[in-house]
Amino acid sequence: MSVHVLENEMLKVTVADSGAELISVFDKENETERMWDADPAVWNRHAPILFPFIGKTAGGRYRYKGNEYAMKTQHGFARDMEFCCVSEDGQSVTHCLKATEDTRKIYPFDFELYVTHSLDSASPRKVKVQWEIKNKGGEAMLYSIGGHPGFRTPAKETEDRSDYYLEFPQKDTVEYILINPSTGLAVRERTYRLQLENGFYPIARNLFDKDALIFEESQIEKVRISKPDKTPYVTLECVGFPYVGIWSKPEGNFVCLEPWYGRTDNDGFAGPLQEKEGEQVLPAGESKTIEYTIEFHK
């Protein structure tokens, strides 16, 4: 697997050509790995890019302009494809994925997706992730895109994941929906609430027993994982994102903070792609740039 390394005085960051995936952030000051190790017995990924779908399509298929397309894998196909590295300089690396005959069979749009990971010269503990989606076709393009970075939690062998907290700065409560475990689709009819204590909520072992917590309506622009003493551990900043998912495996020593433009189908959805919840529209010949940042605190 070909990889590319970005490095400053605080972090050593590794990005793979496969999936343009962020696979390692080594904290040089604390001498510890901050990303999940992709243990195949638990969850075999680090930080996949979700494109051109997030989550599952109902029945593993979708409809567009009277045609039906198969999308049997969840989260689209970009995470499983080889990207081309188009530039790197030790502080940033940019990868590109372009539509092919094979992708058009399951996703009938001509696209180019550029993914840039970069270090922040002013804040050496921050990593920025930027996506540029280009519509190279002659009609509007429908898509979703999201991040799925998994952070190693806890940081120390003497701690447990349940010793850590989710922190939603300046929030008293946040609302979320869940996924139907038998279909993998969102149950929109019922919402749940996290009642926060000064913005904090404990990461109990059973918090993700029913899969991801999905926060809608741009509720969250910043969310972090905090240490047992409630000091910051990892902060995700995702201004403008309409959705954020938070997920882990009950047995996993990691937590994913996932910024999304789009989300999984609603349970029972049978309409065309144009009516899919959260679907993004990119006019012909235009491009869209989206970015988020991750701060790895000391």
% of residues, the chain, pLDDT over 70 = 100
Rounded Cα–Cα distance for residues 100 and 111 (Å): 9
Rounded Cα–Cα distance for residues 226 and 91 (Å): 27
Encode pLDDT of 83-131 as tens digits. Answer: 999 999 999 999 999 999 999 999 999 999 999 999 999 999 999 999 9
Nearest to 276 by CA among 149, 186, 206: 186
The answer to whether residues 116 and 49 touch, using CB atoms and an 8 Å cutoff, is no
pTM, entire model: 0.97
The answer to whether residues 81 and 97 touch, using CB atoms and an 8 Å cutoff, is yes
Rounded Cα–Cα distance for residues 222 and 172 (Å): 14
Does residue 223 surpass a pLDDT of 90?
yes
First to last CA, the chain: 30
Encode pLDDT of 275-296 as tens digits. Answer: 999 999 999 999 999 999 999 9
Encode pLDDT of 147-177 as tens digits. Answer: 999 999 998 888 999 999 999 999 999 999 9
Does residue 232 surpass a pLDDT of 80?
yes
Number of Cβ within 10 Å of residue 126's Cβ equals 18
Structure confidence at residue 157 (pLDDT): 86
